[in-house]
Amino acid sequence: MTDRSNNFPPLPKFLRIKPCFYQNIEEEIPAPHQQLVRRVYTLWMMYSGTLFMNVISCIAWWAGGGSATNFGFSLLWLLLFSPCSYTCWFRPLYKAFRADSSFNYMAFFFVFFLQCVLSFIQMIGISGWGACGWIATVLFFSQNVGSAIVMLITTLLFTVDTVLMALVLIKVHRLYRGGGGSMQRAQEEWSTGVWKNAPVREAGFNAATQSVQGPTLPQYPASVPSYPDNSQW
């Protein structure tokens, strides 16, 4: 408990590159919010899988007579957005629930809203943007049915991703506002520097987890509020 080494992403030990983050939902996230954080993590994996499927669909699009530009952009989106989405919106949400950090909540809301917009644009499927969405797929049925069917799979995945992202954004916002969160709290954290590495809010949590003996669960700091949860997601 006192010597926690980074464990994400899980890389083979023989590589010289080491994991960049420590992630343990059962240990660090308060019990009432563990399920939500797991689902958001699953959503990130689903979106990354959709980007991978989008590369395959763009290859089919290219093979059926489409532009190679779409394949190039789809590969770029996979290499860029998969790690950036984890770093820029899942990690802020993880740290927000871990330490009741309003600054991280605000960072999540801002970046995740842009993520929702991006996923919506990918769902639309503008030709030449490297995303197999509805416009590109429907129009390509008249040119190559086989390729269009492969493209349709990615289109449906982008659609599901967009809907789930919108639901997550609404859910987290309700939890945050229900717990008394506000922009003023985020500004106070910014001005005092609490949002930086090893925030003061986590000191109580670390002390509690280090004092835990045996199989008993860690005690979370009193600063982490109990957010009302009136609905199931």
Q: Which two tokens stand for residue 151?
A: 């493209």
Is the full-model pTM beyond 0.95? no
Q: What's the CA gap between 137 and 149, in Å, rounded? A: 8
Closest by CA position to 158, among listed 53, 9, 85: 53
Q: Which residue has the higher pLDDT, 194 or 103?
A: 103
pLDDT in tens, 86-114: 999 999 999 999 988 888 999 999 999 99
Res 11: pLDDT: 83
Residue 90 has a pLDDT of 96
Nearest to 59 by CA among 156, 138, 151, 159: 151
Residue 62 has what pLDDT?
Answer: 94
pLDDT band for position 189 (cuts 50, 70, 90): low
Residue pair 91/41 in contact by the 8 Å Cβ criterion: no
- Evaluate the CA torsion angle 226, 180, 117, 24 in order and state its sign: negative
pLDDT, position 232: 54
26-42 pLDDT, tens digit each: 999 999 899 999 999 99
Quick check: 197 pLDDT over 60?
no
Question: What mean pLDDT is predicted for residues 64-68?
Answer: 90
Q: What is the pLDDT of residues 212-226, one digit of tens each?
A: 334 444 444 444 455
Return d(Cα 213, Cα 48) in angstroms, integer: 38
Taking CA atoms, 122 is separated from 130, 135, 204, in Å, by: 8, 10, 43
